[in-house]
Amino acid sequence: MKKNGLNRQPNNFAFYFATIIFSVLFLLIGNKLATEGFHPSSESSNQDIVKALITQVIQRDADQTDYGDGEVYNTVQITFKARILNGNYKDQTVTAYQYIDDSLPLAAAAGEVKAGDKVVLVNQSAEGQDWNFMEYVRHDKLYILGAVFVLALLIFGRKKGFNTLLSLIFTCAGIFAVFIPSILSGKNIYVSSIIICFYTIIMTILIVNGKNYKSLAAIIGCFSGVLISGLLTILMSNILSMTGVIDEDSIFLLQFSSAHPIDLKAIIFGAIVIGAMGAIMDTSVSIASSLWEVKEHSNSVTFDKIFKSGMNIGRDVMGTMTNTLILAYIGSSLSIVLLFVAYNSSPLFLFNRELIIAELLQALAGSIGILLTMPITSLVCAALFTKSAKRQ
């Protein structure tokens, strides 16, 4: 059977590299445009933050402190020697301190340092003589798990696994090199969110699945679902009188730049459409790929047959995808929800907190986007695949 149109195989290799070149250009040009007017905070410019290896614990001083509130807190000061592993003071051995206070839960939860630990130190003195413990170094251990993930992806996925890894790198680069700088530099967050979603959808589907009708159908269906979720978010944010101030982090963002104040309502919009995009993309690709197989292995291909098959497949997919999206949002905010439930006995107060409402809005808008992606993708597939069958 002769292939034509979007299914010509000789062009796929060139199209694959064209997609990669497009992605690289998007990142380079997008980063340049996004960082215009962005000035990072200079709050920590006088501090050196370095990685160090503890070579010796010199002294441990324990005491009790009364802050005047009627409670006595246990305090511990650990004095230790550490060799700096990077930065301007690399290979120097310095004396540093760790302070543990029962009144500061985060400091107490870190535990006492010991020889052999890798830690993050902060220097608050220009002479480099006031080093304090900040955190344990954790990222190097996470690299091992990341390497296992990459290896498993390549072993089980082979060529598809490599393409998946490549698309993941481009996606993360787009978020951190283009989207986030555009927000901090005062660009329109609604526009930036749609652009980054459009880029991610096109790049991911074309790199992973190549140039064909099922990729085109999946792109149209996915972008439609994301757009629906975004429109619902804007509509419901106004109806629910959302302010975007859901926690202390939101207040810090509001105070970040007086020249370019960050629109916190738009941050909610961006979080919802980007968070829902993955599940919506999974739904649209699953339906498009399944219907393509139906078309390829069927002797008679009709619009009604493909559409009905797509709806049946979509009904099976939507349950797990909707659960995935809602459970992901619940899991990401589990600690906060536990605190609200533990310290607030009134359900009326709990379910009207803006933080809870924002999480519910994310889950519902994303789920509705998934549900409507199903018929849209099926319709597009029915139109494109019957057209392709007639040409063949």
Instruction: Indicate the domain borders of the chain.
Output: 5-37+142-391, 48-123
Residue 176 makes CB contacts below 8 A (sequence gap 6+) with none
Alpha helices (H) along 297-353: 303-332, 334-343, 347-350
What would the two tokens of residue 199 be?
């880029």
Q: Is 111 helix (H, G, I), strand (E, B) or coil?
A: coil
Is the pLDDT assigned to residue 232 strictly greater than 90?
Answer: yes
Is the pLDDT assigned to residue 21 strictly greater than 90?
Answer: yes
Confidence of residue 217 (pLDDT cuts 50, 70, 90): very high
Do 16 and 215 form a contact (C-beta atoms < 8 A)?
no
| CATH number assigned to the domain covering 48-123 | 2.40.50
- Tell me, what DSSP letter sits at residue 301? -
Do 378 and 286 form a contact (C-beta atoms < 8 A)?
no
- Which H/E stretch holds residue 241? none
- Percent of the chain past pLDDT 70, that is, above it, reads 86
Residue 18 makes CB contacts below 8 A (sequence gap 6+) with none
Measured CA to CA, the distance from residue 173 to residue 180 in angstroms comes to 10
Confidence of residue 66 (pLDDT cuts 50, 70, 90): low
Neighbours of 145 (CB within 10 A): 9
Which tops the pLDDT comparison, 299 or 166?
A: 166
Residue 92 makes CB contacts below 8 A (sequence gap 6+) with 83, 84, 128
Is the pLDDT assigned to residue 331 strictly greater than 90?
Answer: no
Residue with tokens 């494109």: 384
Q: Is 132 helix (H, G, I), strand (E, B) or coil?
A: strand
Measured CA to CA, the distance from residue 105 to residue 101 in angstroms comes to 8
pTM: 0.81
